[in-house]
């Protein structure tokens, strides 16, 4: 939160973009919600008599075309986008709506759709459209997505010049003491809440925290989803067991994640946790950090070998 807040403060009143990148389920959406609640104020823009929010929040749909960025902003302001609206019409409409409402902040999620192979526009075109929005609006544009979106910015000199340094949200790393303590604290707070509402936990919280880390690679958002899946499928309403969480994980995650080993009677070792973290980083296209131990080195090498074999 502090890194994003600092970037916004440095951006000032000049148009710029702030990339917020990271693997799936690391909490980008939650951070966006929190910063939006903190930033938003209401004022009467030039075209409105009553105050309206000066921040809009939207998302890019899959397989975007040249019109999608403008359409996403239009939808975020509550306006309808008719099918097959011409690009020039959308561009003018976005510029006018932003001016009339006095928009200062534009937040767009799922921006990495613009950098995916199935996109119906080139990366250069997507970058040019984002640059146009920045220049015409003078707003601070926060662009959230997967790390692959970084390439779209880096390959366009003009957009890169308008962009602040990317802020990365990474999974918690078990071998890092501060990361581990934060992951444990968040997970235990979920367990505490379950007990507060009358659910008995038939497992040791610290034991289960290691298992959940191994299952998610340090992604708290996925931890929440696994627990929710376990709660929906549990055998006894007043109880949550290790078997319930194993079933929830088997339902929610790909079978290749080797759930039986993670939720077997024996607690996963540090090498399993390190390998899970490495797989999340690898799948997101992120460089692995320097290993902190021989076990972590082995786990990282194993993850890299899997990439080479594939």
Q: What percent of the chain has pLDDT over 90?
A: 75
For the purposes of burial, counting CB atoms within 10 Å of the CB of 271, is it exposed (0-12), middle (13-18) or buried (19 or more)?
middle
> Residue 23 has what pLDDT?
96
- Of 280, 285, 15, 16, give the one whose Cα is nearest residue 153: 16
| Continuous segment of H or E residues that includes residue 112 | none
pTM: 0.88
* Beta bridge pairs of residue 145: 21
pLDDT, one tens digit per residue, over 18-35 is 999 999 999 999 999 999
pLDDT, one tens digit per residue, over 232-279 is 988 788 999 999 999 998 888 875 555 458 988 899 999 999 999 999
* 8 A C-beta contact, residue 20 and residue 4: yes
- Of 260, 293, 272, 257, give the one whose Cα is nearest residue 210: 272
| pLDDT, mean over the chain | 91
Section 74-90 average pLDDT: 93
* 8 A C-beta contact, residue 267 and residue 210: yes
Q: Can you tell me the distance from the alpha carbon of 270 to that of 225, in angstroms, rounded to the nearest whole number?
A: 23
pLDDT, one tens digit per residue, over 90-140 is 999 999 999 999 999 999 999 999 999 999 999 999 999 999 999 999 999
> Residue 52 has what pLDDT?
80
> Residue 256 has what pLDDT?
52
Q: Phi, psi at residue 94, to the nearest 5°? A: -60, -45
* Residue 308 pLDDT class (50, 70, 90 cuts): low
For the purposes of burial, counting CB atoms within 10 Å of the CB of 231, is it exposed (0-12), middle (13-18) or buried (19 or more)?
middle
Token code pair at residue 159:
């957009």
* Residue 309 pLDDT class (50, 70, 90 cuts): low
With 90 as the cut, is the pLDDT of residue 180 above it?
Answer: yes
Question: Could you give the domains of the chain?
Answer: 2-168 (3.40.50.300), 177-309 (no CATH)
């Amino acid at each position: 939160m502090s890194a994003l807040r600092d970037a916004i403060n440095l951006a000032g009143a000049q148009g710029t973009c702030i990339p917020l990148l990271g693997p799936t389920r690391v909490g980008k959406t939650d951070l966006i919600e929190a910063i939006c609640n903190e930033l938003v104020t209401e004022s009467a823009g030039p075209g409105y008599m009553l105050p309206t929010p000066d921040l809009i929040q939207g998302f890019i749909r899959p397989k975007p075309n040249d019109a999608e960025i403008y359409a996403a902003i239009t939808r975020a302001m509550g306006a309808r986008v008719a099918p097959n609206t011409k690009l020039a019409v959308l561009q003018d409409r976005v510029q006018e709506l932003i001016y009339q409402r006095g928009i200062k902040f534009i937040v767009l999620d799922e921006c990495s759709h613009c950098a995916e192979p199935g996109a119906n526009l080139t990366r250069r075109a997507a970058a040019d459209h984002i640059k146009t929005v920045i220049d015409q609006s003078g707003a601070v544009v926060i662009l959230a997505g997967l790390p692959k979106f970084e390439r779209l910015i880096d390959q366009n000199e003009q957009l890169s010049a308008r962009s602040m340094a990317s802020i990365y949200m990474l999974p918690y790393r078990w071998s890092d003491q501060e990361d581990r303590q934060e992951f444990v604290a968040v997970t235990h707070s979920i367990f505490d809440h379950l007990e507060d509402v009358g659910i008995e936990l038939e497992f040791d919280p610290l034991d289960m925290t290691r298992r959940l880390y191994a299952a998610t690679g340090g992604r708290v958002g996925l931890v929440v989803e696994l627990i929710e899946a376990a709660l929906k499928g549990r055998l006894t309403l007043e109880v949550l067991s290790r078997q319930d969480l194993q079933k929830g994980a088997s339902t929610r995650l790909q079978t290749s994640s080797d759930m039986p080993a993670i939720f077997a009677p024996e607690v996963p070792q540090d090498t399993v946790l390190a390998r899970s973290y490495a797989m999340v980083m690898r799948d997101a296209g992120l460089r692995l950090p320097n290993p902190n131990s021989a076990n972590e080195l082995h786990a990282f090498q194993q993850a890299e070998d899997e990439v080479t074999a594939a």
